[in-house]
Structure 1
Amino acid sequence: MIEELLVFLGQNVVIGIFGLIFFILTYRNSVTLFQWIENQTYGRKEFIMNKFEFLHIKVKEEYVVYALLAIAFVIPSLIAAIFAFWGSFVWAAIFFTLFALLGWFIPKPLINYLCQQRIDQYQTQMIDGLNLLTNGIRAGLSMPQSIALVVNEMPAPISQEFNTILQQSKIGSPLEECFENLARRIPTEDNQMFVSSVNILRETGGNLAETFDTIVGVIRERIRLQQKIQSATAQGIMQGITIFCMPFAMALIYYVSDPKSMEIMFVHPLGIALMILAVVLDLIGGFFIYKIVKIKV
């Protein structure tokens, strides 16, 4: 009984010392810390608002700030409080740090992923959109009228992007500048080729319909090549996913078959350190596998 009490007091003293050191360092640098948090939060807010504008998502700026603070601090604090209530202060600190880092760094790549999905959708719609432009030009329509045809007939996102061209043109921007803005919003090789062709032929003269037919052929060939590469790398992707999930599956199997042998990995400091090391190494291995099987065309 006395030994258990001494062990309990020893653990609390160590936690208290680390907590006191953390409080002193935080208090002495509180002004700098909160200024850094404010700058980072508002910097991410501007980034997110710009991306939301690209995604055609309307949301108030203060809601973005509240969401960032909730994801990075409020949710990790609640999770840490639950573990602390159960008496596991070490795991409370670990999960607070883990979820705080995830909440801080995840929004940016997640929004970039959504933007890339939109760009990919635009890319797949370019063939039908350029065919509509070609038909409109061959029918005697002007370029703005052909663009309006795409806006009315095609779904988002290509209809939204072409509608942005029309709206910018209506407020007085030159059509060439509107297309350059499109190239900046959708920075793909096919779109750059399309914008450059339109602007050059509008200045020098030429057959836009034939040029669009050529661009459509190039895009079709690129899509066909991408599909072949995806088929060739599908096996490697599945193998990578299997290897990445294997350590977690083995840990679950050992825990179900013999819980006592695995409990030490979640209680003893050395076991916790080994678990963290295993997760980090697994994530690094998964990252390298992802880079190997990802081929750009």
Structure 2
Amino acid sequence: MNLDTTTWFFIIAAVILLILLIAGIVMSSNSEGNLVESRLGEYLEESNEGRKGDESSVLTEWVNKRVEKSSRGDKIKQSLARADLQFKVSEYFALVVISITLSALVAGFLGGRSIFSFGIGGVLGGFAPGMYVGNQQKKRLKNFDGQLPDMINLMVNGLRAGYSTMQAMEAISKELPPPISDEFRRVVQEMQLGVPMGRALDNLLRRIPSPDLDFMVTAINVQREVGGNLAEILDTISFTIRERIRIKGEIQVLTSQVRTSAKILSFVPIALALFLWFFNNEYMRGIFDAGRAPGFGALGCGLMLIGIGYFVMMRIADIEV
């Protein structure tokens, strides 16, 4: 087996492992089993006694306990919950390490085994899991916000029919589709376990950081303290939220060209530079002919200008409602 065949063997093996890794992430994120139970303990600050039956290794549990105590681990745990991904913090860190390793190997072999190629692959692999989690958060939050007006209307109808607030929330968990049904099922189960309604709603707001949901939760908490017709209050809130969604949709349409231009103009130069580095390495190495300092300085200036342009264009398109 010659050298070229060996190189391609490692590349193909790394790509297959990366595909299997992505498939595992997707299957895990779409799994329905034990979804509520795996998250309730985290937000109720319960002990891990109910999780002793898990098939996790001793090493995984040991690492998970150490990592979750840090502030970084707490933020990652919150991000995973918001994205509805059934990963422990230690498993997420293991995923990052695997992603960095595989990406560095693929990039290193494609880039002529240069240390810069390994570094580029490692950086891209390190950012990939975080970008995936962030994308899942945005998609889930967008779906939740889109279902919120219908949820409030269903809750208003339930209250007017004589339901209690908890019964109305239970009806929401049964009648509406995910993700809003999953979240209110968690709220109902927390309340059934003895958690006060205010704390259960605060936990919901921590999982779903939506301004519209915050508006609704505040109204419910105020009504519980001072009284009043909750159905009328929520009916008014539902109208307000629908109008906000309509205006946001119009703004999204009007500013879509600016946002698309910002993404394309920022992505194309970086993608082209990476393509040339891996598939025409000698040409790209010419930037370092005058020395590494001028070469890295030029690259740094280019990235800085691209970042400034992207930030300015996105700020122009960012109109608050």
TM-score, normalised with respect to structure 1 = 0.70
Residues 240 and 76 of structure 1: is their aligned pair in 2 closer, same or farther, counting only changes over 3 Å? closer
Given the alignment of the two structures, is residue 265 of structure 1 paired with residue 289 of structure 2, yes or no?
no
Say which structure, 1 or 2, has more relative contact order (CA 8 Å, 6+ apart).
2
Q: Kindly indicate whether the alpha-carbon contact (under 8 Å) linking 2:173 and 2:184 is maintained by their aligned counterparts in 1.
A: yes
Shift of 1:162: 0.9
Aligned match for 2:122, one of 90, 96, 100 = 100
Aligned residue identity for 1:218: T
Show the counterpart of 2:312.
Answer: 288
Query: 1:215 is matched with which residue?
Result: 237
Structure 1 residues 15-164: aligned runs within 5 Å: 46-72=74-100, 74-79=101-106, 81-83=108-110, 86=112, 92-164=114-186
Which sits farther off after the overlay, 192-201 or 113-122? 113-122
Which deviations, in whole Å up to 9, do the C-alpha atoms of 1:182-237 show, x marking residues without a partner?
A: 23332332212211111121222211111111001110111111112112212223
TM superposition shift of 1:247: 4.6
Q: For residues 250 and 109 of structure 1, what CA distance do their matches in structure 2 show?
A: 20
Paired residues of 1:80 and 1:93 also in contact (CA < 8 A): no
Alpha-carbon shift at residue 242 of structure 1 (Å)? 4.8
Does the 8 Å CA contact 1:48/1:108 hold for their aligned counterparts?
Answer: no
Structure 1 contact 45–65 (Cα < 8 Å) conserved: no
Q: What RMSD in Å do the two structures reach over aligned CA positions?
A: 3.4
**Residues 91-139 of structure 1 deviation map (CA, whole Å, 9 limit, x = unaligned):** x222222222233344335423322322222111111101110111111
Aligned partner of 1:178 in structure 2 is 200
Q: Following the alignment from structure 1 to structure 2, what is the Cα–Cα distance between the partners of residues 251 and 165? A: 49
Distance 1:217 1:283, change over 3 A: same
The alpha carbon displacement at 1:71 in A equals 1.8
Q: Which AA in structure 2 matches 1:82?
A: F
- CA contact 1:197–1:211 (8 Å) conserved in 2: yes
Q: Please say which structure displays the higher CA radius of gyration.
A: 1
CA distance in 2, matches of 1:80, 1:107: 17
Maintained 8 Å contact 2:108/2:121: no
Cα distance, 1:170–1:202 mapped onto 2, change above 3 Å: same
Residue 241 of structure 1 and its aligned partner are, at CA, apart by 4.1
The one-letter code sitting in structure 1 at the alignment partner of 2:176 is M
Distance in 1 between residues matched to 2:222 and 2:273, nearest whole Å: 61
Shift of 1:173: 1.1
**Distance in 2 between the 1:167 and 1:215 partners?**
25
Unaligned runs of 5+ in 2: 1-65
In structure 2, what is the Cα distance between the partners aligned to 1:52 and 1:95? 30
Matching residue's letter, 1:293: A
Structure 2 equivalent of residue 15 of structure 1: none
1:12 match: none
Aligned residues: 248
Amino acid at match of 2:87: V
Report sequence identity in percent. 30
1:51 alignment partner AA: S
Give yes or no for contact 2:78–2:207 (8 Å, CA) kept in 1. Answer: no
